[in-house]
Amino acid sequence: MTTTASSSPVSTQPVSKPRGHWFTFGSANLAVVVVLSLATWYLLADPTTSPFSFYPLPFNAALFWAILFIVFIGFDCEFAGFDTLAQPLRGLAILASTGLFAVAVTWLLGSGVGSLFPDFAGTREGGLGYFAGALFVLFGFATWVMVVLNWQHWPWTALGMKQPLIGLCEIAFVAVPTLALYFVFGLPSVSLSATEPLMTVDTVLGWFYSMVVAVILTGQTLDNWPWKLFGGGGRTALAATVGNVVLGTAIYFLMVPLAKLLLGSTATAELGSVVNQFPAQIGVCWAFWMIFWANGFGNKFGPAVRAALTFALALGTFLFYYRFAAEHILHEPEVATGLSGNALGFVDWLVLWTLIYVVGFQSLGLKRLSPA
């Protein structure tokens, strides 16, 4: 993600007061994000402490739509309109609009569209109707984020457009291929009427989330390398599109055996074909750390070090979540021997609060700790 926690220009005047250290600032951001995530989790989603019955769906569905809304207003439109507001009003406006959008879309799909098309009905067993609608967001993560991070808003910037027109054009035009991917690969995997989908839902999750990882890895962590070597504009956009599909596919086929190794033979056998979605479970941990490192820690160090460091943090997070946190902290049910939860829930919740607090609220209250 190219959006940073501070949008104010860097002053050229000498500053007399001491600045914070990047690690202190990042650690403080992390602490706030974790506290916010846990507090709201216990209120809204936790299977034992929440007064509601949102877990795992429709909570996860609303969560996915909330992140997509942040992609729209933050990535594509670069917070046009919101950036005119002073803090904390700016952050509150982002938080409120994100919440309203997520709840409204989840309700409209589950109760409105679902009354006409049973695939989306909120009454489907296990909340699968909510999931069928929210599965669209998986493809949106790849397409809309790629246009920003890898394409760098091409071709709209080349046409001399400005925000928010750039973002609105991106949202509208990229919706076409995103819907095509969803109707070809996504919806058939969870449809009540599909008899021979191209892929199972577990493979769809694992493979396409691996492409999301490829987009964030190359576009943000590696500073758009190697796609920027193709010369910019349409050439870089084409290289990034083809390259991220190839790289994402490679990541998927590498992540499946890695997931089996981390899960152990017993759990892998119990999960069966479900293990094919675990590249997404590892991938969301990596996506969280790449996004947080860029915004919370200021994208410290060079591209190669950032990639290695965030991947190592992702593996540690994956093991900690599945082996301990999901059961003992988040009270999620067991999915296999020694494993509990679904990282696409709580870890995405961490991603959302990172985008809201660190980016939307610009690390409100931590300004004195900021090294910039």
Nearest to 189 by CA among 206, 175, 203: 203
Please identify which residue in the block is written with the tokens 């576009």.
Answer: 219
> Could you tell me the two tokens for 58?
């429709």
The pLDDT of residue 224: 98
pLDDT in tens, 8-31: 332 333 334 556 899 999 999 999
The pLDDT of residue 367: 86
User: Rounded to an integer, what distance in angstroms lies between the CA atom of residue 16 and that of residue 185?
Assistant: 57
The pLDDT of residue 347: 98
194 band by pLDDT with thresholds 50, 70 and 90: confident
**Sign of the Cα pseudo-torsion (347, 353, 356, 358, in order):** negative
Per cent of the chain over pLDDT 70 is 95
Distance of CA 334 to the CA centre of its chain: 24
pLDDT at 315 over 50: yes
The pLDDT of residue 19: 67
The pLDDT of residue 139: 98
pLDDT at 221 over 50: yes
State the average pLDDT over residues 185-200.
93
pLDDT at 5 over 70: no
Mean pLDDT of the chain: 94
202 band by pLDDT with thresholds 50, 70 and 90: very high
State the average pLDDT over residues 348-352.
98
1 band by pLDDT with thresholds 50, 70 and 90: very low
The pLDDT of residue 371: 87
2 band by pLDDT with thresholds 50, 70 and 90: very low
Long-range CB contacts (within 8 A, 24+) of 242-248: 243/214, 243/218, 244/142, 244/146, 244/150, 244/211, 244/214, 244/215, 244/218, 245/211, 247/211, 247/214, 247/217, 247/218, 248/142, 248/207, 248/208, 248/210, 248/211, 248/212, 248/213, 248/214, 248/215
pLDDT in tens, 18-77: 568 999 999 999 999 999 999 999 999 999 999 999 999 999 999 999 999 999 999 999
pLDDT at 99 over 70: yes
State the average pLDDT over residues 341-347.
98
